[in-house]
Each structure stands twice: as C-alpha cells, then as structure tokens.
Amino acid sequence: MNKIMLIGNLGRDPELNYTPSGTAVTKFTMAVNRRIRDKQSGEKRDETTWFNIVAWNQLAETCNQYLHKGSKVFIEGRMSSRKYTDKDGNERVAWDVTALDMQMLDPKGQSQGSSSGSGYDDMTADEVPF
C-alpha cells in the first residue's frame, strides 16, 4: 500500500498548468512540522520537512482556487518518484506526493487573503530545499 497523510502549511502559492491534452495540474510545496526534543539540551524544537505536492484534474483546480502561501491543509495521497538530470548533468531522483484528497484547515473566512501567523511569509527562496 502506498499512502501518505500530511498536515502542514503551503510554502508558496499553488501553480496551475495544463497538459497538452488539457488536464489540469497544480504544484505547490508544503511544510510539515514535527516537535522533537533535543538530545543534548533537552529543549523541544520544531523540525520541518518539505514536500512537493502535485494535484490533478478537478482537485488541481480546487487547490489553485482556494489555497495560497501559508494555508493550513490536510493532504492525503501517494508517494511517487521521478528521475531528472540537473544543470550539472547529474541524474537525480525527486519524490512527490500525488494528492488524492485535500481538506482546508484554516478557520472559516481565512481561506482567502492574509496568511498572518503562519510563519512562512518571511521565508526566502533559499530556505525552501527545492
């Protein structure tokens, strides 16, 4: 079984495109935090893992319409890998989550507009690992 469930915040606005056959595809990044205890100091801190999310068809259009940078969402999907060649000619493997279901978790009335309080507005492109 290949199933992944994530709760996190969008790292950037969704990008909607269409395949040559007219199929909608939306891509965005998602940050998922996990609270861990530092082994040396004993202090709790957040550890962030970044995921590439890909949605297709109607779900792609819904994500593009209602989600924005900082949106809190639940994504259920499956992991898939793809090979590509980087700018230096090295073959790489990237892992994506193909979204099968999405639920918006922002409070009602906050799904469009400001993402204040999410902590992702001040993030630079260098802090996103892809």
65 vs 59: CA distance, rounded Å = 10
- Residue 73 located in a structural domain: yes
In the block, residue with structure tokens 């940078």: 69
Count up the domains in the chain and report the number: 1
- Residue 123 located in a structural domain: no
Any idea what the CATH number is for the domain that residue 3 is in? 2.40.50.140
pLDDT at residue 123 above 60? no
Please tell me which residue, 108 or 72, carries the higher pLDDT value. 72
SS3 call for 101: strand
Mark out the alpha helices in the chain (DSSP H runs): 57-66
Which pLDDT band, with edges at 50, 70 and 90, does 120 fall under?
very low
